[in-house]
Homo-oligomer: A and B are copies of this chain.
Amino acid sequence: MTDSRLPADTDDFSQVAPPRIEFIFRVRIFFELRQRFEPTTPMGGRVYVPPAGGDVRGPMLNGRVVPYSGADWARGRPDKCAELNAHYMLEASDGTPIYINNRGYLYGRTPDGVPVPPQVVATQTAPNPSGATQWTIAPDTYFVITPVFDTPVGPHDWLTRHVILGRGRRIPSPDHTVFDYFIVNPPKNWPPR
């Protein structure tokens, strides 16, 4: 279905080079509270999940998650996929404030990529008798985000002009979430000296 006004182009897309992706830092967050809007809202599911703290470690940023500096107000969809939408604060080890708005998708999926029924992941948020969260989650959970950042002009401002990709996973005992972040198409002189 080619637009005739456009020049002929390859039909062999196997040679298209993917963007460069490089690891920049890892954020680990305690999400102690997971408040669901029960039973549902007029527009679908909604949760309030504030970060209780955490750390930031890696080659390009070190610091902490500012406790109770915001939350994830993810929306639950009819197809059981959650649209993440978190707003909170990081603080670099040099004291710089960093605002993060994290958007993406979270759902347990089948080998074909379709969200699995909720009962499969039901124990994900239910505490066991000892008080710890059970983690019988779907074996292939999709948990990818593309955060947008804001931070003052200075050593960390590259965060405000690059697309960043993140991948999450949940860890039990103690219950926390790990996000690994990657820069897409970093500059030629990377990492900065």
Contacts and interface: CB of A to CB of B under 8 A. Distances in A.
Interface of A: 1-3, 5-7, 9, 11, 13, 16, 18-19, 21-23, 26, 28, 30, 35, 37-44, 46, 48, 50, 53-59, 62-65, 67-71, 73, 75, 77-79, 81, 83, 87, 89, 93, 97, 99, 103-105, 107, 109-113, 115, 140, 142, 144-146, 148, 150-153, 157-158, 160-163, 165, 167, 171, 174, 176, 180, 182, 184-190, 192
A104 B70 contact: no
A46 B87 CA distance: 14
A93 B1 contact: yes
A161 B81 contact: yes
Given A16-B23, A50-B69, A69-B50, A37 B151 contact: yes
A68 to B, nearest CB: 4
Contact of A1 (B6, B55, B83): B55
Copies of this chain in its oligomeric complex: 4
B68 A3 contact: no
The 10 closest A-B pairs by CB, nearest first: A113-B187, A68-B68, A3-B55, A42-B79, A144-B163, A111-B188, A146-B146, A18-B21, A81-B161, A37-B152
A67 to B, nearest CB: 8
Most buried by B among A42, A56, A93: A42
Nearest to A115: B161
Contacts of A58: 13
Given A37-B152, A176-B6, A185-B142, A113 B190 contact: yes
Given A23-B18, A153-B41, A188-B140, A1 B161 contact: no
Contact of A161 (B21, B79, B157, B184): B79
